[in-house]
Amino acid sequence: MFSHTLAGQRHAFQDLATLLARATPLRSGDCLAGVAAGTDAERAAAQLALADLPLKHFLTEVVVPYEDDEVTRLIIDGHDAAAFAPVSSMTVGQFRDWLLSDAADGQALAALAPGLAPEMAAAVSKICRAQDLVLIARKAEVTTRFRNTIGLRGRLSTRLQPNHPTDDAIGVAAAVLDGLLYGSGDAVIGVNPATDNVAAVGALLRLLDDVIHRHEIPTQSCVLAHLTTTIAAIEAGAPVDLAFQSIAGTEGTNASFGVSLATLREGREAALSLDRGKLGDNVMYFETGQGSCLSAGAHHGVDQQTLEARAYAVARAFEPLLVNTVVGFIGPEYLYDGKQIIRAGLEDHFCGKLLGLPMGCDICHTNHAEADMDDMDVLLTMLGAAGVAFVMGIPGSDDVMLNYQSTSFHDALYARRALGLRPAPEFEAWLEASGVMAADGRFTPLEGGGRFAGALARAGAAA
Amino acid sequence: MSVVVDRWSGLRRHTPARIALGRAGVSLPTSEALAFRAAHAAARTAVHAALDADALGATLGAMFPAVAVLASRAEDRPTYLRRPDLGRRLDDASREGLALAEPKGADVAVAICDGLSALAVERNAARFLAAFAPHVARHGWRLAPLGIALQGRVALGDEIGELLRARLTLMLIGERPGLSSPDSLGVYLTHGPRVGLTDAARNCVSNIRDGGLAHGEAAHRAAYLCAEALRRGLSGVALKDETAPAPAALGGGAAAIGL
């Protein structure tokens, strides 16, 4: 039982999950789950009570029962007490102050990451303002490698997302070319298949693999099929770079996605067995998003932001190349409007970075949410300032397969230019050598078409 | 003047995606920036359109032994958007109606739902079912009464199938409107439908519309999944869609444009 008296009124919170939920900035998903604070005063009291809670408490009171949930067991059994030691005597409030202090530099944060339980990261995020979430996350540098280097300071990578409503190969290829000519694709060239079908997924994988190898692009491909489909594709001989899976913060939600920790291990081992990474062996690509546990009916009365942080504890066990919080994708029942989407995106990036993950963000909204591209611009700018590893690059922001709006090739160039950010170094060199874009981020005139002269001549003749 | 036109704009005919938009500096040209806002306005309008269930029932009634117009527990659009839990359950009157509907124990219970786009249902449900009917006849599947539900989510089909004691549910539902596709229909299959199942128990064929997955191809895939689900007694992640991909997806895409 926790409590705090504010303006003469005592607010009580029966357990840790309740305290965390009541302390969470307002969002529709917590209201839907019935766990949100009833009033602004209750929320403020919960934040004050949470700030006084020792970090050690999170190791003794879990929010989802240990016996019932393999994610809880992963968190508790995998906790690194030595890494935790420097902050083990702090309260949540003192932890925020320390994170903002100059003592918490990049090296200190990297050393701390294995010692943090996801609920600790979630707790401190709840008492942070947006600017705190930016400033602290900016200090945490997480780099990963497959065929290039993701997450270096001063770099902003993009996932080139060339989706097509029917997986039409020429349509996908056209969008890939468009993205490459706009300097996109250093995080991954990643297609969401319209149908989860082993043969179609294999065809898309071969298409992307051919382009990457023919043009010697220092990047990796991914077809975002269910992990069991990707494993089947590997068995059928398909050229898989990254193994993808959506994951969440409870065992029940992962089960609703058709996976377990054992499935994730199996997928990672299958991808590693192909040994296709030139610079490193980060072979997993995970996607997450607040609200998935409630959507699956497996939230255990825990708020959606804390559960999202628990998904990052799942991710870090598999050394991913990329973790992408798809922040506005599920819809307004979880994040109602632009304000809630912006806050959630900053929280997710912050928690992921604190836990040592290469965090990217699909800065997005659906047409039934109260949000528009102005909101996306605000979040993109703030995440760029916070050091986000990658964002999406979608032609004209319009995903014609998944039916939502995310950041475009143009948007990524805006962020790079406004914030002085550059692509991954290997990709940047390739862009210059290919005649697409100079090292200063300016387009080159593509005289003769550079590396893509053939495609450009053919497209020009057809126009 | 200040706009750079992309030399590869000829590729736009290969995809509905917004490629080769050109640029002003590194940003969208004015014409494309404003076209995007107009499309967003159209998609927002589609979200709030209403489905005429009676008219749809009159059109489709001949294929089914009966038609039941149903409603979820979400009483209006604003409630539906904020409360997916209410959209997954039938209201009391609908439950009572289905309890009386005959025949029970059919092979396939087809349900149609507005979802997030009534426009998708109006444009595509009848055309999908027209293409699906020959498969029904070929397999000799017995159809349950057709349920047409308002303010419904995908999982509502499980309750409909359970009340009709059908072997599987095929739910046709309006997918959330995209910027360029306000009318996309999704088809979800659940074997052994009952309240409480999750997405892991379902298979999906999506993006059914003009400019998306063709109705005949969608019906072919759905029929394959139905046949396999009935034969193997399961659906969901254990049931893979092994139908041959459409010829365009079989490769040569990059070579075809010289990439």
Taking the C-alpha atoms of residue A162 and residue B257, their distance in angstroms, rounded to an integer, is: 15
pLDDT more than 70, % of chain A: 98
Taking the C-alpha atoms of residue A118 and residue B114, their distance in angstroms, rounded to an integer, is: 39
Please tell me whether residues A202 and A74 are part of one structural domain: no
Q: Which of A138, A163, A188 is the last residue of a domain?
A: A138
Domain-located, residue A448: no
Give me the total of CB pairs closer than 8 Å, taking one residue from chain A and one from chain B: 262
8 Å CB contact of A463 and B85: no
Q: Which of A138, A167, A190 is the last residue of a domain?
A: A138
Please tell me whether residues A184 and A312 are part of one structural domain: yes
Paired tokens of A18: 């309740």
A100 near B CB under 8 A: no
Question: What sign does the CA torsion over A412, A132, A346, A361 have?
Answer: positive
Are residues A377 and A396 in contact, defined by beta-carbon separation less than 8 angstroms?
no
Domain-located, residue B239: no
Please tell me whether residues A81 and A98 are part of one structural domain: yes
Domain-located, residue A439: no
A14-23, B74-83, B95-104: which range is least confident on average?
B74-83
Are residues A391 and A362 in contact, defined by beta-carbon separation less than 8 angstroms?
yes
The pLDDT tens digits for B122-137 are: 999 999 999 999 999 9
8 Å CB contact of A405 and B251: no
**Domains contained in chain A, number:** 2
Burial of B35-64, coded b for 16+ CB within 10 Å and e otherwise, reads: bbeebbeebbebbebebebeebbeebeebb
For chain B, what is the largest distance between any 2 Cα atoms, rounded to a whole number of angstroms? 69
Are residues A169 and A193 in contact, defined by beta-carbon separation less than 8 angstroms?
no
The CATH number assigned to the domain holding B180 equals 3.40.50.11240
Are residues A125 and A343 in contact, defined by beta-carbon separation less than 8 angstroms?
no
- Better pLDDT: A441 or A377: A377
Contacts of A1 (CB under 8 A, 6+ apart): A12, A13, A14, A15
CA B40 to chain A, closest CA, distance in angstroms equals 7
Please tell me whether residues A227 and A374 are part of one structural domain: yes
8 Å CB contact of B245 and A167: yes
State the CB neighbour count (10 A cutoff) for residue B27.
15
Tell me which residue in B18, B82, B254 faces A398 most closely, judged by beta carbons: B18
Which residues are bridge partners to B69 per DSSP? B148
The pLDDT tens digits for A131-160 are: 999 999 999 999 999 999 999 999 999 999
- Better pLDDT: A280 or B253: A280
The chain A residue lying nearest B182, using CA atoms, is A403
Domain-located, residue B245: no
Q: Average pLDDT of B53-67?
A: 95
- DSSP track, chain B: --EEPPTTGGGGGG-SS-----EETTB--HHHHHHHHHHHHHHHHHHT----HHHHHHHHGGGSS-EEEEEBS--SHHHHHH-HHHHTSB-HHHHHHHHH-S--S-SEEEEEE-TT-HHHHHHHHHHHHHHHHHHHHHHTPPBPPEEEEES--TTHHHHHHHHTT-SEEEEEEEPPPPSS-TT-EEEEEEES--TT--GGGEEEEEEESTTSB-HHHHHHHHHHHHHHHHHHT--STTS---SPPPGGGGS-HHHHTT-
Contacts of B138 (CB under 8 A, 6+ apart): none
Are residues A387 and A394 in contact, defined by beta-carbon separation less than 8 angstroms?
no
Assess whether the previous peptide bond of A118 is cis (omega < 30° from 0): no
Contacts of A205 (CB under 8 A, 6+ apart): A221, A223, A233, A238, A239, A240
pLDDT band, residue A414 (cuts 50/70/90): very high
Residue A193 assigned ligand-binding role: yes
Per-residue pLDDT at B249 = 47
CA A445 to chain centre: 34
Provide the residue range defining the domain that includes B112. 53-232
Please tell me whether residues A93 and A134 are part of one structural domain: yes
Please tell me whether residues A297 and A340 are part of one structural domain: yes
Paired tokens of A174: 């056209």
Taking the C-alpha atoms of residue A107 and residue B160, their distance in angstroms, rounded to an integer, is: 57
Please tell me whether residues A340 and A217 are part of one structural domain: yes
Domain-located, residue A444: no
Domain-located, residue A443: no
The CATH number assigned to the domain holding A111 equals 1.10.220.70
Provide the residue range defining the domain that includes A122. 2-138
8 Å CB contact of B7 and A446: yes
The pLDDT tens digits for B161-199 are: 999 999 999 999 999 898 988 899 999 999 999 999 988
Which of these, A217, A222, A225, lies nearest to A177 by C-alpha position?
A217
Please tell me whether residues A238 and A358 are part of one structural domain: yes
Domain-located, residue A446: no
Taking the C-alpha atoms of residue A309 and residue A295, their distance in angstroms, rounded to an integer, is: 16
H or E stretch covering A288:
strand A284-288
Which of these, B208, B135, B195, lies nearest to B169 by C-alpha position?
B195
Tell me which residue in A166, A175, A257 faces B19 most closely, judged by beta carbons: A175
The pLDDT tens digits for A212-248 are: 999 999 999 999 999 999 999 999 999 999 999 999 9
The pLDDT tens digits for A173-186 are: 999 999 999 999 99
Q: What's the CA angle centered on B239, arms B238 and B242, to 5 degrees?
A: 135
CA B139 to chain centre: 23
End-to-end CA distance of chain A: 70
B79 near A CB under 8 A: no
Domain-located, residue B148: yes
A377-391, A426-440, B27-41, B57-71: which range is least confident on average?
A426-440
Domain-located, residue B223: yes
Please tell me whether residues A125 and A46 are part of one structural domain: yes
Please tell me whether residues A232 and A353 are part of one structural domain: yes
Please tell me whether residues A289 and A367 are part of one structural domain: yes
Are residues A243 and A229 in contact, defined by beta-carbon separation less than 8 angstroms?
no
Per-residue pLDDT at A462 = 61
Residues of B with CB below 8 A from A251's CB? none
**Domains contained in chain B, number:** 1
8 Å CB contact of B207 and A401: yes
Please tell me whether residues A132 and A177 are part of one structural domain: no
ipTM above 0.90, yes or no: yes
Are residues B151 and B74 in contact, defined by beta-carbon separation less than 8 angstroms?
yes
**Three-state SS at A241:** coil
Q: What's the CA angle centered on A377, arms A376 and A378, to 5 degrees?
A: 90
Residues of B with CB below 8 A from A162's CB? 17
The CATH number assigned to the domain holding A297 equals 3.20.20.70
